[in-house]
Amino acid sequence: MKKKFLYLLVLIGVTGFSQQCPQLLTPMSGTTNVPVETVISWEEITGVPGYRIAIGSTPGADDIIQDQSVGSSTSFAPPLGLPENTQVWITITLFFFNGGNVTCSSIPFTTEAVTTVPECADLRLPANGAVDVNIGTNIAWNYAPRATAYILTVGTTPGGTDIVDNLNVGNVLLYNPPTDFSTNTPIFVEITPTNTIGPNTSCPVQSFTTGDVAILPGCTTLRNPVNGQTNVPLTPFLQWDEVPGAVGYRVSIGTNPFENNILQDAVFNDPETFVIEFEPNRSIFVRIIPFNASGDAIGCAQETFSTAIGCGPFLNPQTGELISLFPELNFPDAVSICVNALPATLSTDAVAQGFRWTRTTQAGTVIEDLSDTREAAVSEAGFYRLEVFNFADPGGNNIPCPAVQDFTVLVLPGPTITSVDVQSQGEGLQLTVNATGTGDYEYALNNEAGPYQDSNVFNNVPLGNNTVYVRDKNELDCIVSKLLEQDLISEGFPNFFTPNGDGINDFWQFVPPPNAQAFSLVSISIFNRFGQLLVQVDPNSQGWNGTFNGRPLPSTDYWFRAVGVNNEQFTGHFSLRR
């Protein structure tokens, strides 16, 4: 069942979209003395599938470079350089496959005044030193920086002029000889670049050697898809015209005119091939060169088409809106969870048709699928990934349009309440909360929401059941608590005893009050006023009889520290009366 499209509209009109036009990176707008051989580059604009460039001597003009596609490339090297001492205007057009292209404002810079002769030009076709060259070959060379014309001399001996004699061919990079070369003959070529300063007379002579007479195949033309076609399926069946005399075809494919980043010189014996999957929303550039035993066809042109829009973004020419099927995903790079809160449930508010949560390695390899809903439970620290997606359906391909966020789960140790010291304070209590951990902690009493204080001491706490809370200042959700039955101080520990042998109050011992359900102590320690430990009393024993090493102690105040089963600590004092 096909999934319904979900269109996420970014309201950017055609006029407003001009703010999204790229700035020149090299050279920057307004720069002067720019080298004539400079390579022009600009910012990449997210969501723009392709660019076109025109270069002129006035804003919007293309008298230097006619408007041409560069695919997804963000740079362009003018094949013949730029004119010297000229204000040059660069016009970038944002190309959208369904029309509605956006032409940006022209950006100027000024080229240098050339003061030196050009550099030399390298022979490109045939390559310098090539052998068995077809006698019908053209001669081509690379651009020589600062050149505005080329003088060509061709002969069968070094420096010979018997084929071409000092011919100024103009500002071009190709010469088509009027007749074929002789077979099995060395051909010597001298290319002299020149400009207003003069010719470069020090360039070396280059050469190649022809082979036997050979009949090369002609070029071919795309039949499916045809040159210039748009909205081509992502898995097309490429077909081209069969060429008589060709035994095979070299096919190169790229996403811009300057590189074959999809396929390079792949050989096919038949004039067709099935493509597994192109990227959506791309300009595709194809060059097909037929060949036979005599060599490759000469001068075959590059053709282009564009694939289905797929996920976008693409511009709606009627509304001026930029439409994308990619969902918006706003999820943090790291999530901190208090160890007490594990396992924890994470969620996303992304509007999407599908969800996938996974646990991964640090390198991004999926270890475990966690959930296919907008929520997922995590139980440990580590590396995770959230992927949300919508579906595009051009040609029934049901293409997922994902947005992905890799994130880290950090488990915080949180505070640990090791004990709470409880002391009588007038008619109330003083509570001292003892917490350990690596964080910066603050404290609250009887309300998890606070208010919190920096001090771990609470004064004048009413008797009764109180709860203390500790949280990390830097991770406010990392909270621990402890419930205290502090009325044990007044009700469970006697304020005095009278060890005089009359059978009344002869022993001091903790007596659990009726409201202290299932409460018990682990130990009770008794000290004199100098802090000397006198005795440890078993909570299940009769209690302390007021002696030390068998001798009765004097009437005075003594201190105690009692430890509960949950590590609560209760401190206070009482009187011994005789």
Of 71 and 446, the structure prediction assigns the larger pLDDT to 446
Confidence of residue 514 (pLDDT cuts 50, 70, 90): low
Which pLDDT score, from 0 to 100, does residue 13 have?
29
- Rounded mean pLDDT of 256-280? 85
- Rounded mean pLDDT of 199-225? 92
* Number of H-type helices and E-type strands within the chain: 1, 46
Which pLDDT score, from 0 to 100, does residue 413 have?
80
Please write the tens of the pLDDT for every residue from 366-378: 999 999 999 999 9
Q: Are 95 and 283 in contact (CB under 8 A)?
A: yes
Which pLDDT score, from 0 to 100, does residue 100 have?
63
In angstroms, the CA 147 to CA 114 distance is 10
Of 79 and 9, the structure prediction assigns the larger pLDDT to 79
Q: Does the structure show a pLDDT above 50 at 570?
A: yes
Please write the tens of the pLDDT for every residue from 145-187: 999 999 999 999 999 999 999 999 999 999 999 899 999 999 9
Q: Are 267 and 290 in contact (CB under 8 A)?
A: no
Which pLDDT score, from 0 to 100, does residue 70 have?
87
Please write the tens of the pLDDT for every residue from 543-561: 999 999 989 999 999 999 8
Can you read off the two tokens belonging to residue 148? 């505005």
Q: 371 vs 346, 387, 399, 406, 424, CA distance in Å?
A: 11, 11, 21, 15, 53
Nearest residue to 64 (alpha-carbon basis) of 140, 141, 148, 121: 148
Amino acid at 404: V
Mean pLDDT highest for which of 88-92, 234-238, 281-285? Answer: 88-92
Least confident of 238-242, 264-268, 273-277, 314-318: 314-318
- Rounded mean pLDDT of 124-137? 90
SS3 string, 429-448, reads EEEEEEEECCCCEEEEECCC
User: What is the model's pTM?
Assistant: 0.48
Cβ neighbour number for residue 526 with a 10 Å cutoff: 23
431: number of CA atoms within 13 Å, CB side?
29
Cα dihedral 504, 510, 513, 519 in deg (nearest 10): -150
Q: Does the structure show a pLDDT above 50 at 532?
A: yes
Confidence of residue 414 (pLDDT cuts 50, 70, 90): confident
Question: What is the gyration radius of the CA atoms in the chain, in angstroms?
Answer: 43
Question: Which bin fits 204, alpha (ψ -120 to 50), beta or left (φ > 0)?
Answer: beta
Contacts of 204 (CB under 8 A, 6+ apart): 120
192: number of CA atoms within 13 Å, CB side?
16
- Rounded mean pLDDT of 226-248? 88
Average pLDDT, the chain: 85
